[in-house]
A = this chain, B = another copy of it.
């Protein structure tokens, strides 16, 4: 095993460090966030920092980078109060990655990368038609993280679009059956292989696989 301390990390070249630390935190939930502005100009961006905050109410967070490096999505959410989160399936991973290019504000990433905006559930923010699992959110709170000038953006789920045949009887969603992917680091994408589901764990009781 290799051991690194703070002094070692401080010596790392900038891109080496970014790749290393971004991978170190493990596989990530990667999705496309769809927004629109007051003029109906659509925006689509890829985000790999989506985090489940709670189910009741259904609250989801994502981390927005400092405003000077990633302004459009956050500005649109602040302006309209709504956004969509769309799973990335392996069929369109290349288009999804391309949305990370720094397009100017008046450009729709949908058109540039070849994905299709879709309007459903009375949400003015665009969904991604090609995505098989997607949901709409209303903005609840933006919490500034002073330490590195990022933001925790919290929304409440107001609508869901999904193929019902991948949802189990107990509500669990077999994401792998929709080919939803996860990411690693800044630029790597992965399919997944189901291992097992385990029953609710209790002290003194052996861990049981859900059949």
Contact = CB atoms under 8 A, between A and B. Distances in A.
Contact of A58 (B21, B164, B184): B21
A133 interface: yes
Interface residues of A, number: 113
B207 A94 contact: yes
Stoichiometry, copies per complex? 2
A60 B25 contact: yes
Interface string A85-106: 1010010011101111111100
B24 A51 contact: no
Interface string A1-33: 111111001001011111111111111111100
A109 B14 CA distance: 38
Interface of A: 1-6, 9, 12, 14-31, 48-61, 63, 85, 87, 90, 93-95, 97-104, 107, 112, 120-121, 132-133, 135, 140-141, 143, 145-148, 150, 152, 154, 157-164, 167-168, 170-173, 175-176, 180-182, 184-185, 187-203, 205, 207, 210
7 contacts: A3-B160, A9-B58, A17-B171, A25-B29, A53-B150, A98-B201, A152-B152
